[in-house]
A and B are shown apart, each in its own frame.
Chain A
Amino acid sequence: MTTMQDTARILLAKIGLDGHDRGVKVLANALRDAGMEVIYLGMRIPPEQIAVAALEENVDAIGISLLSGAHMRLIPKVVKALEDQGILGQPLLLVGGTIPDDDIEPLKKIGVDGIFPVGSPLQAIVDFIKENRRSRS
């Protein structure tokens, strides 16, 4: 058992085949400059791999970026994979990208903690993680 550490650890990844990685990389820089430790897995990462990495790296938050419009199909798979690893609800689950307003509530219902559509200020994401970070088990 570890206690709450000062440095937040954040796992970032893109899922699906979508190649729009500008936002996630800008965010990776911003989180790092905010003193967080960033593990960026890259693009085309299967949900299972994200869940395993989140468990192994004992992260405080997982950020999934997608601008493919496939979030309603793919995010539930990430949620399921986290459930399978027994860590759903432990690290914060954040989703960013082209998410229409109507999809925000349904995503929150299945366990997404924060949704940051394109154009969200980086500071808002940094603050969200700082304020909502749960202690690691």
Chain B
Amino acid sequence: MGLFDEEAVKAVTEKRKDWEKNELNNVLERAPERLDNFQTVSGIPIERIYTPEHVKDLDYETDLGFPGSYPYTRGVYPTMYRGRLWTRRQIAGFGTARSTNERYKFLMAHGQSGLSTDFDHPTLTGYDSDHILAEGEVGRLGVAIDTLADMEDLYDGINLEKVSVSLTINHPAIILLSMFLAYAESVGVPWETLRGTVQNDALKEFHGQKTFALPPRPAYKVTMDLVEFCTRHVPGWNTISISGYHTREAGSDAAQEVAFTIAQGMSYVEGGLARGLTIDEFGPRLSFFFGCHNDFFEEASKFRAARRMWARITKERYGATNPQAMLMRFHTQTLGSTLVRQNPKNNIVRGAIQAMAGALGGTQSLHVSGYDEAYDIPSEDAMRMSLSTQLIVATESGVTNTIDPLAGSYFVETMTNEIEERAWAYLHKLEDMGGGNILDGMFAGIESGYIESEISRAAYTYQRRIESNEYTVVGVNDFISEDSQPLELYEHDEKEEQRQLDRLEHVKVTRNADMTNRALDELQKAAKADDNLVPPVLAAVRAYATEGEIMAALQSVYGEHTDPAIF
């Protein structure tokens, strides 16, 4: 049943026509509007005004419901931020594990409530620090991890029973999470008590983050191995952080971000079901990760649309009965690609607007990107500013005092519907490509380059809108001011690379080489036999096999992936 009775809507229509004819047209004749076409950052057309006419078919119960109730449009928990604020989780990682460990302690002293680990490119792509391709990137954009010894340094002195940890790693996720589990075991923390997340989203690597190490199908198999293992042995762990953030950073629009992320999620659900798990048991441990752009209402609507879609899909398509399996819990990161070099302190304001949209979209945790990230990884000052931004939005702005305050806005509800509709169009397309199922559609979409070229096209369209001044970026294409704002940038310590190389060398000469080699042989055999690979990877990391050695063992069976270089 709609929110408005038909007669009332008809009356609004008549009044609107009167208003257009009399007041509006008079004004338009004298003073035309600023633009011929108004649209969102993603290019969705925006009308002059939204009225009950736009939402006349909205059904409160089935389309919105109550917080903590299906379809969760208004939020995943009954009290949302009135109960507990979102987790302030600024990602950090640079240099050696020891340096990052110090940064963690600094952040926790400044109001951070959860940890998130950023790995350097060699770690993300499965190479050891001493690999030729790693040169210059060891510890550069994240922390360098080669062996269990580094993991021991990384979380030294941090109580893993109290602090939740997020590991932002994908194709090598099985290796890094195994190191983490081995470390927890060695300090006497039972796996059952661990709380945290591993990104482990193999599929988004091919169109989003592009730090792939394995071809699509084996990468997916390894991801599902980890899901299966954790469902049985590490029950409090979020086994995949299904990520749209990188897809958006790669240039997608908001609807594509929702569509491809949900398609990834559906692929993992289909994989779990194929392994005999039930969605009610592993669904509750799937979490999500989105970006947040500058278009405030579009972004807030995007989160609401995604949450409603996931609830409907898990319940109606996959038969979830456990409400926990229908919840889209998500982390938000304000988008690095919206940060500009010109007048960099303006980026603080962009971060605040995006953080606010994340809050009004009902995020469970948040990272505000540093204002200086168009230059380098964030300085300590930028990270402090990001945390302050979160705190001010969370407390002073008052947006956390009531739940989903944008609900019922004619515009926001229309935009929420619009994004859902556009995302569904992509899902149907992928479904067709996959002959009826999303998983095969995903593989087809990746292997044919379809997903990448859709994203590329959107990225190019956005950039052209900036260059033609259709979309204003302050200080970039309009309101340009010459005043310079000198920044104290992050100072990369060039000596960290050598320290890491020494550490790796030390581990290699002091470990029991026979044990390491045996473990690697066993791993290779398990990969050939198509076994679950978590137990043999755990054995290898305990024997101080390096990340690169373990990945090489997997690649010897599965092959590698090369960039198709589509644009």
Interface residues of A (CB under 8 A from B): 16-22, 24-26, 28-30, 38, 40-44, 46, 68-70, 72-74, 98, 100-101, 117-119, 121-123
Contacts and interface: CB of A to CB of B under 8 A. Distances in A.
A44 B563 contact: yes
Interface of B: 121-122, 124-125, 127, 133-137, 140-141, 209-211, 249-251, 337, 340-342, 374-377, 456, 459-460, 463, 467, 476, 489, 492, 562-567
Given A22-B249, A26-B251, A43-B563, A68 B137 contact: yes
B565 A68 contact: no
Given A43-B563, A69-B140, A118-B341, 19 more contacts: A17-B125, A17-B133, A19-B125, A22-B249, A25-B567, A26-B460, A29-B567, A40-B567, A42-B562, A42-B565, A43-B210, A68-B121, A69-B141, A70-B137, A98-B376, A100-B376, A101-B375, A119-B342, A121-B467
Contact of B133 (A16, A22, A29): A16
Given A17-B211, A69-B492, A73-B135, A117 B122 contact: no
A70 B565 contact: no
The 8 A-B pairs of least Cβ separation, nearest first, read A73-B136, A19-B210, A42-B565, A70-B136, A42-B563, A17-B121, A25-B567, A28-B567
Nearest to A17: B121
A73 B136 CA distance: 6
Contact of B460 (A20, A29, A118, A123): A29
A118 B124 CA distance: 23
Main secondary structure of the interface of A (DSSP, over half): loop
A21 B563 CA distance: 10
A119 B337 CA distance: 9
A84 B141 CA distance: 30
Contact of B124 (A17, A22, A44, A69): A17
A44 B131 CA distance: 13
A40 B565 contact: yes
Nearest to A19: B210
B459 A42 contact: no
12 contacts: A16-B137, A17-B133, A17-B134, A18-B137, A24-B567, A29-B567, A44-B562, A69-B376, A98-B376, A100-B489, A117-B374, A119-B342
Given A44-B133, A69-B492, A70-B137, A21 B210 contact: yes
A20 B375 CA distance: 14
A104 to B, nearest CB: 12
Contacts of A24: 567
Nearest to B484: A101
Given A25-B459, A26-B251, A68-B140, A17 B122 contact: yes
A21 B251 CA distance: 10
A98 B374 contact: yes
B126 to A, nearest CB: 10
Contacts of B489: 100
Nearest to A120: B341
A21 B460 contact: no
B135 A22 contact: no
A74 B210 contact: no
Nearest to A12: B567
Nearest to A71: B136
Contacts of B492: 69
Contacts of A16: 121, 133, 136-137
